[in-house]
Structure 1
């Protein structure tokens, strides 16, 4: 065998020898397997970071919006609060080692430099304000050494969130009560008065008789029920406007005559005191009292009073209540004319028929702004409920809160 042949045989044997192939393949594939494992770990980390970052942004935006509306925080204070929420959420959500000052510092630095917080403030109707908090933030996820074998060092996660809130918006109103104090208002309701052991229980049959004596049990009169109902209405105003800055009320009563009114004044104390002094007597004539209420609300001085104190033009209401019917048709005509004028001028009219006959009900239905502004009360509970609803509806105009 020549040397040339011997050399060719050695090469062929070397190429044909499969010994050591596994080691070679392992050396080639192992880095890829390790890199794949690193990618799997980092993918989990990316998903967790994205979720945590979005949750942190949402929480921060909500916290800032709430602080602006409910805690009277300034924009600067709200932004600082939002930033604190972001840092705390990220450090906690990603389990940043509190003992590692470097890790925590790096996380805080990323949030500080990668976050933009914008607060937009808008004036609302009344004296309220609405706020919109926009947060845009980013966080860099650094890959582990195994993933970096593939040439990728890190990736950036982004999150955005928006939250809105508003402060309480107070809106001014003026209300005038037009209340029937005719003799029938002395008649009893079906409600027992447990504060008294006996009293004169006036009814349609015995009204005005000098022979009527006190009996037991004692029943609440329609006038007593009216006083409770008015108190229920005014309670809603006290809750909505405790400082008496936005609500003005007045009241006038009538039988066959129209009596001196309680002039429009801030709050409801004077009007309630006026109602509590009413004594039932006489017939029914609503025309003059309705005209007085309308004129008082329409007067330029009423708008000026609000403009001076709260800077607003008030919403205006008339609450008209009767338990009977006018003695003369001319009062129906003048009352309806006043209701038409008031509605034309933008006033809302609520009417309450309290155990009233058909004629009285028809007048009140025609006077009311619409069907939802008319109430029929056949007993004391229904009367109190009607006035409470009126109070709730109108006080809702005074106080509006958006969260």
Structure 2
């Protein structure tokens, strides 16, 4: 009997469409809502993946830079970076909502770090996983979906990749290196300087008339760090970076020569940075003299040129299959010799040595690469060093101590090929 009534209902055209529509409408609305939410979720996943990648790269870079960062420190840095960037993009959150979202992210995010050391290199791997709940719209809720979980995973690696190299520093110790920079000494920010002033007093022969005399007194003045001290600090940062890249002194060899208008005794290229560090420390605190880099640059070229097998033999003995050659040429002036004016002859001579070095190819066809640093230098100095460099990315123009320190550190990292890469 019930079957007959149901058949009649199906054959009844008057309300069939309405009943079917009433039954199917929630389902169709739910499916439409899900389609919208899935599209939104994909956009959110892409955004969160980018933030996760940024966080793992930041952690991997920090681990390589510091060298001894603990797993707890790395995880804390990664969480801080990821959470702050994730929540920064949503300005509509109240403080309470922000705190709640931060707790959810912390609970749902993990960082795993792995450090690997070999004789000549260190590497750091960072793996991050996070699950993020995205609220779904009202239409999706009709069919029972209130949130959608999005999971992201990111992996980044960094390391001191074991780039064998021989480097020679050509450093300016001319008189202008005794001049002040624009950086105040944070340890002793002021100093006493002698100053003269005019003072009036009654003339001894006739007190009705006022005479003048110069009076010397000591007054407080800003204590700026001089260029030479800045150079020593910057070189120290370079040596620290090179030591991180080659802790066992089996990859990196460094030497140096300084100059004013004369070429000073050189530090031969040796393994590691200890000897060259001593050499730079002994540079005069109060330098003097003019500027002629030709002799020191000649020393650099002679030490590194391909026909001089000393460097190749040294690297072969350490089983370094290949090595790169670098000159780091720094000046704060223009080529004057022992005079006070620019010398075209010395300028051109230095330029010629640079060209010789850049054209010197090893067995693999690789030239000597020249980094140049024009530290608070005049126009002619900048012109020379830009032309001497191996290209735009090898030329630097630091105008204060902070920039000089950054420059030497960056050159060390570039030469040693320390870097960070995304591997997910």
* TM-score tier after normalising by the smaller chain length: 0.5 to 0.7
CA drift at 1:231: 1.1
SS at structure 1 position matched to 2:396: strand
Aligned pairs for 1:2-401 within 5 A: 169-196=161-188, 216-279=221-284, 280-298=287-305, 299-327=308-336, 328-345=343-360, 346-396=367-417
Q: Tell me if the contact between 1:172 and 1:398 (Cα under 8 Å) persists in the aligned partners.
A: no
The structure with the greater share of residues assigned to strand is 2
3-state SS of paired residue (2:222): coil
Listed one character per residue, the Cα deviations across residues 78-104 of structure 1 (whole Å, up to 9, x for unaligned) are: xxxxxxxxxxxxxxxxxxxxxxxxxxx
Corresponding residue for residue 97 of structure 2: none
Q: Over residues 212-248 of structure 1, what are the superposed CA-to-partner deviations in whole Å (9 max), with x where a residue is unaligned?
A: 9895432110111111111111111111100000000
CA distance in structure 2 between the aligned counterparts of 1:362 and 1:383, rounded to whole angstroms: 18
Please say if residues 181 and 223 of structure 1, whose CA atoms lie closer than 8 Å, have aligned partners that are also in contact. Answer: yes
Cα distance between partner residues in 1 of 2:416 and 2:171: 20
CA offset at residue 259 of structure 1?
A: 0.4
Cα 1:191–1:201 change in 2 (3 A) is: farther
TM-aligned CA deviation for residue 311 of structure 1: 3.3
Cα–Cα, structure 1 residues 192 and 302, in superposed 2: closer, same or farther, change >3 Å? same
How many angstroms does 1:199 deviate by? 5.1
Q: Per the alignment, do residues 306 and 397 of structure 1 end up closer, same or farther by CA in structure 2, a change over 3 Å counting?
A: farther
Alpha-carbon deviation of 1:201? Answer: 8.1
Instruction: Check conservation: 2:173, 2:283, Cα contact below 8 A.
Output: yes
- CA–CA distance in structure 2, aligned partners of residues 199 and 167 of structure 1: 44
**How has the CA–CA distance of structure 1 residues 388 and 168 changed in structure 2, closer, same or farther, with 3 Å as cutoff?**
closer
Alpha-carbon distance between aligned partners in 1 of 2:120 and 2:235, rounded to the nearest angstrom: 29
Q: For the Cα contact (< 8 Å) 1:236–1:391, is it kept in 2?
A: yes
* 8 A Cα contact 1:198 1:214, kept in partner: no
Q: Using the alignment, how far apart are the partners of 2:192 and 2:322 within structure 1?
A: 47
| 2:84 matched residue in structure 1 | none
Q: Tell me, what secondary structure is at the counterpart of 1:189? A: strand
Per the alignment, residue 157 of structure 1 pairs with none
Q: Which runs of 5+ in 1 are unaligned?
A: 1-125, 130-164, 203-210
Q: Give the SS at the match of 1:237.
A: helix
> Number of paired residues?
235
TM-score, structure 1 as length reference: 0.53
Q: Residues 120 and 247 of structure 2 are in contact (CA less than 8 Å); yes or no, is this contact kept in structure 1?
A: no
- Name the one with the larger helix percent: 1
Q: Which has the higher contact order (CA 8 A, sep 6+)?
A: 2
Give the root-mean-square deviation of aligned CA atoms.
3.2
